[in-house]
Structure 1
C-alpha cells in the first residue's frame, strides 16, 4: 500500500479520538466524524491540525454520503475504516421507549453497516475494517439488552462480511472493549447513578486488573488490526477488557 489513511466514525472523543491520535502518530492521514457540535469543536482544537474533522449524524445516510465524498476528495482512498460511532441508552422491558430503541439501532447497526457499504469504493485492496462492538454484546449487563442487540447484530455480520470482502483481501474484525472510561460511559452511568465516580471506582475494583479500560488501551488494539502485522486476521473479535467477564 501507499500512504496510509483512516476514517474513524465517532472519532471526536473517547476511544475514537485516542485511535485518531495513535494512528496519526504512526503516519496515517486521519479523518474523524462526530455528531455533537461541542465535541467536534473540541476535536478541531485538540487533534493535530491536519486531521480532517467532520460533523455528521451516524443515523443519516445523506450525512454519510457527504463524509465519504469529503474523505475521498482529501485522501483519494482509505487503507483503514474504523466504525466506532455508537450510542448507549440503557433501558429495560419496564422502561423501554420506541424512539430510544430506534435511535440505538439506527446508530449502532444501520449507521455502521451503511457507512461500510458507502465507503467500500474508497477502500484499497488489502484494507482493514474495524468495528467497535463491546463485551456487552455477549455478556449479561442489566439494562443493556437493546444496546447488546444492536452491537450483536454487527458482530453476527462480521464473518459473512469477511468472506464477501476476502477477494479484495479487505479484512474486517471487531474490537470489543470492556468498561472504558469515556464520556459516553460516564453519561450512561449517570442515568442510573447519582455518584458516577463512586460507581466507576466500584466497577474498577471488580475488574481482574483492578482498573477500568482507558481509551488508549483500545486504540492500541485498533492500531494492531490496522497494521500489516494483522494482514492475515479477518472475521474475528478481540476483547479488550482486562479480564472482565471471564469469571464464572
Structure 2
C-alpha cells in the first residue's frame, strides 16, 4: 500500500547505505524522492537505479545547503518529508585530537545537519515530517569516539528543540539511532577480509539479539515516521541496535 502517495521527500546522503535504502522505501510507499550527495557520479548512478531525482550538494558546506534549498524550492516546491541522513565517521583520542579531525566530523554531522534543517524549514509544508539520523553511541561511552558521539548528541538536542519550535505548524521532528548496520561504510575502513569478519563477530557478541542491523530496517522506520501512523509522535529518539546499548 502506498502510504506516502502524493508526498515529496528529500534524503541527504542518499546515494548509498541507509540513505539509499530510505529513498528506495520512500519511493515504494508512493513518495516523489530527491536524493543528495557530494559525489556527482555516485549521485547520478544511484538516482538512475532508484528512479528518483539526484542533486549534488555537500552537507559540510552551508553555501551548498543554501543553494540546494533554493534549487529544491524552485524546481519542486515544498517538501513533506526531510530525512537528514548524511554523515561521516571519524575521530581520535581527546589528547591527540586535531582541529582538522574535529572540523571534519562536526562540519557534516552537526553543523551541516543543523543548517539543513534551518534552511529547509521555509519550504516544508505544514504537517511535514523531519527525521534525523543519529546513533546509539550517544548512550554509550567508547574511547576515541568523543567527536562522533558529541556530534550525534548535539543533533538529538536540536531535534527536541526543533520539535517544540515547529509544533505550531504540526511539523514533527524525530530521530533514529541505529547501532551497527551492514552498509558499505564498514567496507571502507581499510580492513582485510579476515579483520572485517572479526569486526562483525566483535559487534555481534555485544548485541543481545546477536545480529547486525540492515539499512532496510532503518528505512522502514524512516517511512513510519514520515506517515500518518506516527502523527502523534514528535521529539522522539528511536534506538535500533538490537539491545547493544542496554
Q: Same fold (TM over 0.5)?
A: yes
Match of 1:27 among 26, 30, 42: 30
Aligned mates of 2:102, 2:183 — CA distance in 1: 22
- Partner residue of 1:103? 104
Q: Where do 5+ consecutive residues of structure 2 fail to align? A: none
In the alignment, is the contact (CA less than 8 A) between 2:26 and 2:223 conserved in 1?
yes
Displacement of 1:38: 4.4
Larger mean CA deviation between 66-75 and 144-153 belongs to: 66-75
Q: How does 1:76-95 map to 2 (within 5 A)?
A: 76-95=77-96
Render the CA deviation track for 1:165-214: whole Å, top value 9, x for unaligned: 00000000010000111122333x44799722321233123322221111
Aligned mates of 1:204, 1:186 — CA distance in 2: 16
- Match of 2:137, SS? helix
Residues 43, 93 of structure 1: CA spacing in aligned structure 2 closer, same or farther, 3 A cutoff? Answer: same
Displacement of 1:72: 1.9
Aligned mates of 1:91, 1:36 — CA distance in 2: 26
Aligned mates of 1:175, 1:194 — CA distance in 2: 31
Number of aligned residues: 243
In the alignment, is the contact (CA less than 8 A) between 1:180 and 1:212 conserved in 2?
yes
Aligned mates of 2:143, 2:180 — CA distance in 1: 14
- Match of 2:54, SS? strand
- Match of 1:195, SS? helix
- TM normalised by structure 2 equals 0.92
Aligned mates of 1:20, 1:239 — CA distance in 2: 20
Aligned mates of 2:19, 2:173 — CA distance in 1: 17
Residues 32, 158 of structure 1: CA spacing in aligned structure 2 closer, same or farther, 3 A cutoff? Answer: same
2:195 paired with 1:184: no
